[in-house]
Amino acid sequence: MTSPGIEGTGLERRSAILRAAYRVMSREGAQRTPLAKVAEEAGVSKALLLYHFERKDALVVAAFEWALNATADRIRRKLAERSDPFAAIDTVIDAVWIGPVANRDYFRFYLDGVDHLTHSPSSEMGAISRPIINGLYREVIGAARDAGGLVVDDPEAAANTMRAIIEGFFLQWLQTDDWQTNHAAYREQCRSAVKASIQVLT
């Protein structure tokens, strides 16, 4: 199988490899996925994969960052479609809780990435995740506060709380036996908890 853009520029090939790494690692786990499997999924040789990523550690870190940025970009697109700061929190929750299968794949990969980064002496997990995730939430909260839709003294602290709530609900949801059926209920509980924590005005 050949990924879209794999015959293009070096940047396009690198992006295609990262997409392939995400697909395989979200199914099989970052630690259990050999580089040869990623190369096969991307439709490239292992030598070409190693040209872009000299070792597996570098590939996992880059794929983790790619997945975070892809999610943040998708949320920003959803926010731009609505252009309503009063509905910003609802938009973020709906854009994050997109569906049971996609969320399960993403969050399993996310947890693998966190585990890998916390055990890698060469990686700074906070330097990768905090600007992307907390930065997005701070941006959303700040805009909604400025429009009069939120009561927030400290957008930075509120962003930290929002992230903790969202990730906490995902962790709980992943541990339920009937995760597909329970997805909507956990999404709504998460929505209510986030709104209560930052005093959304109605």
Residue 119 is part of a domain; what is its CATH number? Answer: 1.10.357
Kindly report, residue by residue over 53-92, the tens digit of the pLDDT.
988 888 988 998 999 999 999 999 888 887 777 788 899 9
Residues 6+ apart with CB under 8 A from 63: 18, 21, 22, 25, 30, 109, 113
- DSSP letter assigned to residue 43: T
pLDDT given at position 202: 52
CB atoms within 10 A of CB 145: 21
pLDDT given at position 201: 61
pLDDT given at position 3: 41
Q: Do 65 and 28 belong together in one domain?
A: no
Where is the domain boundary, 54, 77, 97?
54
- What is the percentage of the chain residues whose pLDDT exceeds 70? 90
Q: Do 28 and 85 belong together in one domain?
A: no
Where is the domain boundary, 54, 73, 94?
54
Structure tokens at 34: 């050999």
Where is the domain boundary, 54, 70, 95?
54
Q: How many structural domains compose the chain?
A: 2
Task: Say if residue 28 is exposed, middle or buried (CB neighbours under 10 Å; 0-12, 13-18, 19+).
Answer: middle
Kindly report, residue by residue over 141-167, the tens digit of the pLDDT.
988 888 887 788 888 999 999 999 999
Q: Do 89 and 32 belong together in one domain?
A: no
Contact 59, 21 (CB under 8 A): yes
Q: Do 109 and 145 belong together in one domain?
A: yes
**Whole domain around residue 34: which residue ranges?**
1-54
CA 103/CA 74 separation, integer angstroms: 14
Q: Above 70 in pLDDT, residue 100? A: yes
Q: What is this structure's pTM?
A: 0.84
